[in-house]
């Protein structure tokens, strides 16, 4: 029998007022219902916000080391349950096991990191101009944080929003993505067991049009953090700023890897394949454009096609690349395959649905060549295992093409030329820039965010920058 999971509000596991549920199915086998979750209403979301508002003062007054101790205990509980969390993530989202296990470990590491940082949030002391005066700056929590998180990293992204918010002393309401909410429910269970006070964390599952909308517009929420598509993110940004909220959005990408004339084609193909086909291309930092110097273009294409054709596709539990998360995502990717061919790009490999894999949402790793810079396949986010290869005559053209999109999240270059590498770092219009590395993969202790349509360009996530978003500064003049 399929388990039905409840919302977590004010320290209690509760059902929605509507008595409606959402079935989450296995994307590798859509006939399998993994778990049922609450299809919550705006009223449920409002109840959660009320609980968070009631709990915020006591949690804000809790000493930072004590808050950190709770986060550390929760991290240890997640570590004990790593295997089952990995299985749940695979079943709901479809990731290959090594990717799913790595993502769960990332969440554990984030909890440990911010557990330590919680003790360092007192503020700073400055020298005063007048005698007999203490001059110092206090860092205080902003209040109630509303978090709206995506399905593609269903535990890592919620963790890197939730842990700093709690470490800084904020209470939280969170709406996980309806396609894969299970691991967020399990994070809440770990925090409850770790001793988090009632009302400090509230989890409500359901549609963004009801739950997310209430979180953003409710007068008792103070900050909003959203990760998702650029189209929805812009609406969230406008809605939150109109309501006077502090807002942070991390959105889409059209991430390039520039392959220099000095690059080894085999090494470059390894980097692009890992960045483009890893996580089934369902990453905001995935490489979707390989911008290749004409001197190495043919060899690079041959190497990349070979890697695409040798990837083992199937259910994420025991294959190298799993399915896309839903029928809509698969169909969107296949639609872009048709668009690219209609615009004149050459399908070098892939582009279809693998045979003998049943009704799962699988798409073959796909490579397009003869791609022009103004084609949709080179301008729009696909969010599937598709890499467009563009040929350029020199570094200058490669840099221009790399920057010539509306997005600016992650960018990389493969080169043995140090001057090119330095120029790319300085001139690439992206929030994350890498040299001789894939576009995906992030350290947890440094800022993450994008330029242009990839971000609101307001606040960064992760590391100290993540804590900055959830704190506000108060300057104190103490004339003793």
The structure tokens 């609101």 sit at 456
Contacts of residue 237, defined as CB under 8 A and 6 or more positions apart, other chains included, come to 226, 247, 249, 456
Contacts of residue 293, defined as CB under 8 A and 6 or more positions apart, other chains included, come to 259, 260, 261, 263, 391, 392, 393, 394, 395, 398
Contacts of residue 40, defined as CB under 8 A and 6 or more positions apart, other chains included, come to 7, 16, 18, 204, 205, 206, 210, 211
Contacts of residue 478, defined as CB under 8 A and 6 or more positions apart, other chains included, come to 133, 134, 135, 136
Q: By C-alpha distance, which of 207, 214, 208, 177 is closest to 39? A: 207
Q: By C-alpha distance, which of 406, 390, 299, 269 is closest to 340? A: 390
Q: Identify whether 284 is a catalytic site residue.
A: yes
Which residues sit opposite 38 in a β-bridge? 21
Q: Of 156, 284, 409, 432, which one is the catalytic site residue?
A: 284
Check: CB of residue 228 under 8 Å from CB of residue 150.
yes
Which residues sit opposite 310 in a β-bridge? none
What's the CA gap between 24 and 31, in Å, rounded? Answer: 10
Burial (CB < 10 A; 0-12, 13-18, 19+), residue 130, is: exposed
Give the chain's length: 480
The residues carrying an active-site annotation are 284
């Amino acid at each position: 029998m399929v388990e039905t999971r409840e919302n977590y509000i004010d320290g209690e596991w509760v059902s929605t007022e509507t008595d409606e549920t959402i079935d989450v199915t296995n994307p590798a086998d859509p006939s399998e219902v993994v778990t049922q979750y609450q299809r919550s209403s705006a009223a449920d979301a409002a109840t959660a916000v009320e609980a968070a508002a009631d709990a915020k003062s006591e949690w804000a007054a809790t000493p930072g080391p004590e808050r950190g101790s709770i986060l550390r205990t929760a991290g240890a509980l997640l570590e004990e349950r790593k295997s089952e969390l990995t299985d749940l993530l695979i079943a709901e989202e479809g990731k290959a096991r090594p990717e799913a296990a790595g993502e769960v470990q990332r969440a554990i590491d984030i909890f440990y990191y911010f557990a330590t940082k919680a003790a360092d949030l007192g503020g700073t002391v400055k020298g005063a101009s007048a005698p007999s005066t203490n001059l110092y700056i206090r860092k205080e929590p902003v209040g109630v944080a509303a978090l709206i998180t995506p399905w593609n990293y269903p535990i890592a992204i919620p963790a890197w929003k939730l842990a700093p918010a709690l470490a800084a002393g904020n209470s939280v309401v969170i709406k996980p993505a309806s396609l894969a909410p299970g691991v967020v429910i399990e994070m809440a269970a770990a925090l409850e067991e770790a001793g988090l006070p009632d009302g400090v964390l509230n989890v409500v599952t359901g549609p963004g049009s009801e739950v997310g909308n209430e979180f953003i517009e409710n007068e008792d929420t103070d900050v909003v953090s959203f990760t998702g598509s650029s189209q929805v993110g812009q609406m969230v940004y406008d809605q939150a700023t109109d309501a006077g909220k502090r807002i942070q959005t991390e959105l889409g990408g059209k991430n390039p890897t520039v392959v220099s004339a000095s690059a080894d084609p085999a090494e470059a193909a390894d980097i692009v394949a890992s960045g483009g086909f890893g996580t089934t291309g369902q990453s905001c930092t995935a490489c979707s454009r390989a911008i290749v110097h004409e001197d190495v273009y043919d060899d690079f294409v041959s190497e990349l096609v070979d890697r695409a054709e040798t990837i083992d596709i199937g259910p994420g539990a025991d294959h190298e690349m799993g399915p896309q998360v839903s029928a809509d995502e698969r169909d969107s990717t296949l639609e872009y395959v048709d668009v690219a061919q209609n615009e004149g790009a050459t399908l070098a490999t892939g582009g279809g649905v693998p045979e003998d894999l049943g009704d799962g949402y699988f798409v073959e790793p796909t490579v397009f060549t003869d791609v022009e810079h103004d084609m949709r396949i080179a301008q729009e986010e696909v969010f599937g295992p598709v890499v467009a290869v563009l040929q350029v005559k020199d570094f200058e053209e490669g840099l221009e093409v790399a920057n010539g999109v509306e997005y600016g999240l992650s960018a990389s270059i493969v080169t043995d030329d140090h001057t090119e590498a330095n120029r790319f770092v300085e001139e690439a219009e992206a929030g994350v820039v890498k040299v001789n590395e894939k576009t995906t993969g992030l350290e947890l202790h440094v800022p993450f965010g994008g330029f242009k349509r990839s971000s609101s360009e307001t606040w960064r996530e992760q590391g100290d920058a993540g804590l900055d978003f959830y704190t506000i500064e108060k300057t104190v003049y103490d004339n003793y």
